[in-house]
Amino acid sequence: MLVKKFSILFLSAVILFSGCKKDDCNCDCDLSTYNPTAYTVDRPQGFPEMVIPADNPMTVEGIALGRKLFYEKRLSDDNTMSCATCHAQQTFAFTDRGTRFSTGIDGIEGTRNAMPIVNLGWAPRFFWDGRAFSLEEQALMPVTNPIEMHQRWSDAVSKLEADSAYPQLFLKAFGVCEIDSLVVAKAIAQFERTMISGNSLFERYVNNNENVLPDPTSVLSGFSLFNRDKTITLSGGDCFHCHGASGGLFTDNAFHNNGLDSAFTDVGLEAVTGSPNDRGKFKSPTLRNIELTAPYMHDGRFATLEEVIEHYNSGGHASPTLDPLMKNVGVGLELSQQDKTDLINFLKSLTDMDYVNNPQFSDPH
């Protein structure tokens, strides 16, 4: 009889402790409530299929949670900074508008310009130097970065767990009773994959015959220059090599030394790969909404699109790793003033007002 009672007590203890998280029993963790709603990405015309990780399928609940976390300041050590802090301005395509370098919670300024968040679901690598290979991996890094949010993930998770709303949101989105950094990153990545821009003024004009361009003749001339190779034609912008419109992304998502410098204080991709052949190479940003995302280049050195165009028109600076596509060093593109104006007007036509005004991307708090 004593053996039977002991067995019952032991079994009860096992059940009790196996159902507990850390020191407290999570009595509200009812896995029967996990019934997420599948979400299908509505990709714009001409865009390729988006590859969704098998271990992080898109759901309505996951996206909603990721949106909340994207704006969650408790992910930083002093509760003042969220992902949105450096990608704060929706009306400026989620960049740190007008700021060359973002500043973290300790007042330390970074060394690179905050990249815009747009169409990241089609990118194979992230950050200017490509150090992250998935959106999930990318979402993990700013929290622990000492010059950004500067917080241990264990502390960030404890804050989320202390909020009565978050455990239930994670349960409904992922069917988990415990929050951890990986599932936080998965939620943020899901939200970021919905941040799609594919209905620019240019596309509305070309595809739908909408009268939205202030100077269609100039824009179309700029588009032609954008897609012309100067080595083949008398004049051309040579832009399409790295920012071709094929696939709708306006970036090749690759890494190039585009002739900004002859010597480098920031070696870019080389810091990740360790190869001197990658020195000075940085990721090609998308040109979508480029009118809104100044300043430009990895270090924000150019304040205006006019300065960007003039850099390429000059031919750039020679260096051992200069991209072969930068073949006009010492000669330049020899663009006329009208050519430059037309190119800039085309670039401005890539602004997508639906994207920058979409209420589904705003702060839900």
CB 93 within 8 A of CB 115: no
- Does this model's pTM top 0.85? yes
Is residue 320 over pLDDT 50?
yes
Domains and CATH numbers, the chain: 24-196 (1.10.760.10), 201-355 (1.10.760.10)
User: Distance between CA 283 and CA 79 in Å, rounded?
Assistant: 31
**Non-local CB neighbours of 11 within 8 Å, separated by 6+ positions:** none
Query: Could you tell me which of 244, 249, 308, 243 has the C-alpha nearest to residue 113?
Result: 308
The structure tokens listed for 357 are: 């005004």
Give 198-222 pLDDT, tens digit per residue.
999 999 999 999 999 999 999 999 9
Average pLDDT over residues 234-262: 89
pLDDT score of 21: 40
Give the lowest-confidence range in 3-7, 158-162, 316-320, 346-350: 3-7
Residue 295, preceding peptide bond in cis (omega within 30° of 0): yes
The structure tokens listed for 188 are: 């943020």
Q: Which helix (H) or strand (E) segment is 255 a member of?
A: strand 255-256
- Residue 2: band (very low, low, confident or very high) from pLDDT cuts 50, 70, 90: very low
Give 86-120 pLDDT, tens digit per residue.
997 788 899 987 899 999 999 999 999 999 999 99
Q: Which helix (H) or strand (E) segment is 24 a member of?
A: strand 24-25
The C-alpha torsion from 212 through 217 and 219 to 224, rounded to 10°, is 140
Give 18-33 pLDDT, tens digit per residue.
333 434 435 478 888 8
List b or e across 286-295, with b for residues whose CB sees 16 or more CB atoms inside 10 angstroms: bbbbbbbbbb
In this structure, the strands spanning 24-25 and 255-256 are unpaired
